[in-house]
Structure 1
Amino acid sequence: MTKRPLVLLDVDGVLNPARRPTMRHRRHDVTLDGRTYRVLLNARHGPKLLALAAGAEADLVWATTWEEHANAEIAPRLGLPPLPVIHVTGDLGTRTGEHFKTRHVAEYVAGRPFVWFDDSLRPPDWQYLMDHPGVGEFLLVEVDPQTGLTDGHLARAREWLTGRALGLDDAGAASPEPAP
């Protein structure tokens, strides 16, 4: 019996790039706890992420400091259903230079294969995940925060997930390489 893979999603820098609105990225003003944030979202990302998950028989999961707010403010604007949330904001320290979310991700995945889209992943994150006993196969997809998620990132994830499912020899290798 295989475990369904996970597709982990960050919001800021991935689904919400740090740039001006474009024809594809529409501006939304989101108020959380009395503070208003400008969020740029591409409505096409929702269907593309759903297609990626369906094609790979994977589960989409939020791995973002937005936590539950992602389900209330981001998911509906992208056409996504409410997703499970990895709670990442309780402990902001690092131990070996990894991103503060990495330890929470390692605990959450519980041996399930996963692809993680984030704009803050570096070699210490890859090393931490490689060394963590509860982590199996994974692919880290580094997203440029100025550009955000692209079709190239999605294609890379799809290729890895499909290769895993087909049992290809090199598909299970964890990768520290950023996506093109």
Structure 2
Amino acid sequence: MKPLLLIDVDGVLNPMGRAAPDFRRYRCTVGAEVYTVHLNARHGRRLLDLALATGSELVWATTWEDHANEWIAPRIGLPTLPVIPMSPGEPSEFGEMFKTRHVAEYAGRRPFVWFDDQVWAEDEEYLRVRQGLDDFLLIHVDPRQGLTSRHLGMAHEWLTLTGFSQGP
């Protein structure tokens, strides 16, 4: 089974803190809302390289949903990616983030790495105990800094050492 690389936008690709010089500011209009996002064009290449090296599939795991393909992907050099639907659902019963149930449903039994600024111990416990999943790595990204080489290295190492890597 091809592993998944699940990507959040806000706090991961769009840091909440002061953007570093290698980030560019964009104004995105989604419906009646206008958002300012700071994106680093190199993130797209780095994510594509990680997917290629590990034989993984990139997937959006963000409340931006399909808007990520319209507004985020072209600005960082990603192709159109599959999207995990994140419609609001039932409130959390066990302290997990609302997206965690959607991720579990989408991933099924496929191994995955999830880059998100809101994944915590409760999300890991929910996935392991409530969903019976074992083959995943949650990578908490500091929302003030966003995705770093260290995060990408953690994903590469985990996919490679666990044998999920299907890369060259």
TM-score, length basis structure 1: 0.88
Q: Which residue of 1 aligns with 2:87?
A: 89
1:40 maps to 2:38: yes
Q: Which residue of 2 aligns with 1:154?
A: 152
CA distance in structure 2 between the partners assigned to 1:134 and 1:83 by the alignment: 27
* CA drift at 1:135: 2.7
The Cα RMSD (Å) is 1.4
CA distance in structure 1 between the partners assigned to 2:33 and 2:23 by the alignment: 21
Contact 1:15 1:41 in 2 (8 A): yes
CA distance in structure 2 between the partners assigned to 1:83 and 1:110 by the alignment: 18
Give secondary structure in 2 for the equivalent of 1:158. helix
Q: Any stretches of 5+ residues in structure 2 without a counterpart?
A: none
**Count of equivalent residues:** 165
Q: Which residue of 2 aligns with 1:22?
A: 20
Q: Which residue of 2 aligns with 1:124?
A: 122
Give secondary structure in 1 for the equivalent of 2:162. helix
Contact 1:112 1:135 in 2 (8 A): no
* CA drift at 1:88: 1.2
Contact 1:114 1:138 in 2 (8 A): yes
Contact 2:111 2:164 in 1 (8 A): no
CA distance in structure 2 between the partners assigned to 1:127 and 1:145 by the alignment: 22
Contact 2:4 2:57 in 1 (8 A): yes
Aligned pairs for 1:42-57 within 5 A: 42-57=40-55
CA distance in structure 2 between the partners assigned to 1:4 and 1:64 by the alignment: 20
Identical counterparts, % of pairs: 53
CA distance in structure 2 between the partners assigned to 1:105 and 1:166 by the alignment: 18
1:165 maps to 2:141: no
CA distance in structure 1 between the partners assigned to 2:121 and 2:157 by the alignment: 22
Letter paired with 1:65: T
Q: Which contiguous aligned blocks of 4+ residues in structure 1 show a shift greater than 6 angstroms?
A: none
